[in-house]
Amino acid sequence: MRDDPKERAALGRAANAIAPADGIARRRADFPILARTVNDRPLVYLDNGATSQKPQCVIDAEAHYYAHLNANVHRGVHRLSQEATDAYEAARDIARDFINAAQREEIVFVRGTTEAINLVANSFGARFRAGDEILITGMEHHSNIVPWQLACERSGAVLKVVPVDDSGELDAAAFESLLSPRTRIVGLTHVSNALGTINPVRELIALAHARGVPVLLDGAQAVPHLAIDVQALDCDFYAFSGHKLYGPTGTGVLYGRRALLEAMPPWQGGGDMIRQVSFARTTYNDLPYRFEAGTPNIAGAIALGEAMRYVRDLGLDAIAAHESALLRDATERARAFPGLRLIGTAREKAAILSFVLQDVHAHDVGSILDHEGVAVRTGHHCAMPLMERFGVAATVRASFALYNTHEDVAALFAALDKVREVFGDA
Amino acid sequence: MPELRDLYQELIIDHGRRPRNFGALADANHRAEGFNPLCGDRITLFVKTREGVIEDVRFEGTGCAISTASASLMSEALKGRTEAEARALFDGFHALVTGEGAAEQAPLGKLEVLAGVAEFPARVKCATLAWHTLIAALRDQSAPVTTEGEESR
């Protein structure tokens, strides 16, 4: 895609106009899978929080690499290796720009958010000691809980958890009081995958920094919906996945503040992460390669770069405005739906509607919705402690992306009417 | 295309809403737990046997309509059966809900209302949780049973 400032400005204006949806949702045509049917009905894909669909340009970018550039990176002197390396490193530059990192050395390609957090928990966490504290929140995904529990097991550090209130917001006062002289890091989700809550991360980071505590943000659910500027946020680590951002599975980015990355020991050893190897002593490569052992997902990184370019060209402000309109529409319909309880009613939310229906289990709702061609996620959303907090075993989650329309929202609620038809009134 | 009513028949909705034999059984001599963590479905099954005959079955737990109705219908079907008959019923029921030809199996009676599950592969694990828990109870297996991962992907 071209990067046309005029087009972007026009999209931005459209987002503020009366019918903000049209400009963005017209991009549906870019996503070939949206043309398919499920049970002879048009696919209504509302499981974007799990993974988004891919535009043709991303699919093409991955295929183009294998058809024209395939070679290993950072190795050969031959032409293909040079071209593959150039394309891979160009993707790093796009990623740097996408989240406004100060330097390209701060962008580490990983398999996804999970690997990014594991990298930090292992490497930055290597110096945790018994009695140290790791502060996370009650709304974290398992991938921002379990790596820290493993770090606690290795080091004797203790996990502390910030409580969540009934609306699905963090208790900021509790956050502040849980920051102690022993706190070594804060792991915090930017946007909750199960509730949609947008956390006030800038303020929370400022509170942590006032006590000298670095902060890792789990951005998996934020990057597709919000413009990210890691310098403005002042976060120390930012982790996200490519596949929720219209990119390929098995791709992701760890942003790390250079001073922190410089001081961290390698996590995985192997090729590419070394400078010189001998049996007596091995020296390690520079950033970011020190953290990219082995042949990376080259095609995936290149295609992720294309996905970021695609999103950047559409403009995250325009995408966010469109998705907010969908969420407002869905929330209003949800509030009017008999026997429906919203799980997550924070003031600031992004693209996620999580709910339960009285007397109908989430999986029964999911099966009936699927029968109607509507794909949603049902279950605990890899956030079991949060489900327990709200006293539910599972919720139904509809999550929006740039290609969803108000017709999709209407289809969701028509399918929920069908649930009532099958199960009777609440 | 499978119809929704094939899965959600009135009898299933009824047993899902008002499960029979629901609650603990104080004098049970077999007991097992079933848990599908992805679903959140949980069951505790209590079985009372005497000289190889199932005298009473009760259960507790939470789950979807399919798993609750399946447990409820199972509890009704088992009373008065020998353990060997219960195992044969399990085999027949398993064949029914996985669509592996139940024709030559023993008659399943009311349990056949769950035949529609075969058309919804993601829900097979819901229908079989209570039954796998039963087998575990008869074996006095202490580890909780799960049906996630073996019958559907």
Q: Please state the domain extents for chain A.
A: 5-46+315-421, 59-312
Looking at residue B144, the DSSP 8-state letter turns out to be P
Contact of A357 with chain B, judged by CB distance below 8 Å, is answered with no
Cis peptide before A288 (omega within 30 of 0): yes
Half-sphere exposure of B58 (CA within 13 A, CB side): 11
Catalytic residues of A: 382
How much of chain A exceeds pLDDT 90, in percent? 88
Mean pLDDT, chain A, as a whole number?
93
In the predicted structure, residue B104 carries a pLDDT above the cut 80? no
How much of chain A exceeds pLDDT 70, in percent? 95
Amino acid at A143: S
Query: Which contiguous run of DSSP H or E holds residue B45?
Result: strand B41-50
Distance of alpha carbon A350 from alpha carbon A334, whole angstroms: 16
The residues near B18 (Cβ < 8 Å, ≥ 6 apart) are none
Amino acid at A212: G
Residues A291-344 pLDDT 10s: 999 999 999 999 999 999 999 999 999 999 999 999 999 999 999 999 999 999
Mean pLDDT of A361-389: 94
**pLDDT at residue number B19:** 97
In the predicted structure, residue A2 carries a pLDDT above the cut 60? no
In CATH, the number for domain B4-138 is 3.90.1010.10
**pLDDT at residue number A25:** 72
In the predicted structure, residue B102 carries a pLDDT above the cut 60? no
In the predicted structure, residue B153 carries a pLDDT above the cut 60? no
Mean pLDDT of B40-59: 96
Looking at residue A213, the DSSP 8-state letter turns out to be -
Distance of alpha carbon B136 from alpha carbon B141, whole angstroms: 5
Which homologous superfamily does the CATH classification assign to the domain defined by A5-46+315-421?
Aspartate Aminotransferase, domain 1 (3.90.1150.10)
**pLDDT at residue number A143:** 97
Q: Is A191 helix (H, G, I), strand (E, B) or coil?
A: strand
**pLDDT at residue number B142:** 87
Whether B37 and A384 lie within 8 Å, measured CB to CB = yes
Looking at residue B140, the DSSP 8-state letter turns out to be T
Indicate if A59-312 has the same CATH topology as A5-46+315-421. no
In the predicted structure, residue B151 carries a pLDDT above the cut 60? no
The residue among A248 and A7 whose pLDDT is bigger is: A248
Residues A263-273 pLDDT 10s: 999 999 998 89
Residues A389-411 pLDDT 10s: 999 989 999 999 999 999 999 99
pLDDT band at residue A426 under the 50/70/90 scheme = low
In the predicted structure, residue A224 carries a pLDDT above the cut 50? yes
Distance of alpha carbon B5 from alpha carbon A426, whole angstroms: 19
In the predicted structure, residue A289 carries a pLDDT above the cut 60? yes
Q: What are phi and psi of A19, to 5 degrees?
A: -110, 80
In the predicted structure, residue B11 carries a pLDDT above the cut 70? yes
What residues of chain A lie within 8 A of the CB of B17, using their CB?
359
Mean pLDDT of A368-385: 94
What residues of chain A lie within 8 A of the CB of B38, using their CB?
379-380
Mean pLDDT of B93-122: 85
Measured CA to CA in angstroms, residue B107 lies from A376, B71, B88, B93, B102 at distances of 37, 18, 10, 10, 9
Distance of alpha carbon A338 from alpha carbon A407, whole angstroms: 21
Whether B64 and A423 lie within 8 Å, measured CB to CB = no
pLDDT band at residue A19 under the 50/70/90 scheme = very low
Whether A363 and B8 lie within 8 Å, measured CB to CB = no
Shortest Cα–Cα distance, B124 to chain A (Å): 12
In the predicted structure, residue A16 carries a pLDDT above the cut 70? no
pLDDT band at residue B38 under the 50/70/90 scheme = confident
Whether the CB-CB separation of A198 and A189 falls below 8 Å is answered with: no
First to last CA, chain A: 49
Residues A22-67 pLDDT 10s: 578 789 999 999 999 998 999 999 999 999 999 999 999 999 999 9
Say which residue the tokens 């209003």 belong to. A332
Distance of alpha carbon A355 from alpha carbon B63, whole angstroms: 16
What residues of chain A lie within 8 A of the CB of B41, using their CB?
363, 393
| Paired residues of A110 in beta bridges | A252
What residues of chain A lie within 8 A of the CB of B5, using their CB?
422
**pLDDT at residue number B100:** 84
In CATH, the number for domain A59-312 is 3.40.640.10
**pLDDT at residue number A4:** 52
Task: Pick the residue from chain B with its C-alpha nearest to A373.
Answer: B1
Q: What are phi and psi of B27, to 5 degrees?
A: -100, 30
Shortest Cα–Cα distance, B32 to chain A (Å): 20
How much of chain B exceeds pLDDT 70, in percent? 93
Find the CB nearest B65 among A39, A361, A394: A361
Find the CB nearest B13 among A363, A380, A423: A423
ipTM of predicted complex:
0.89
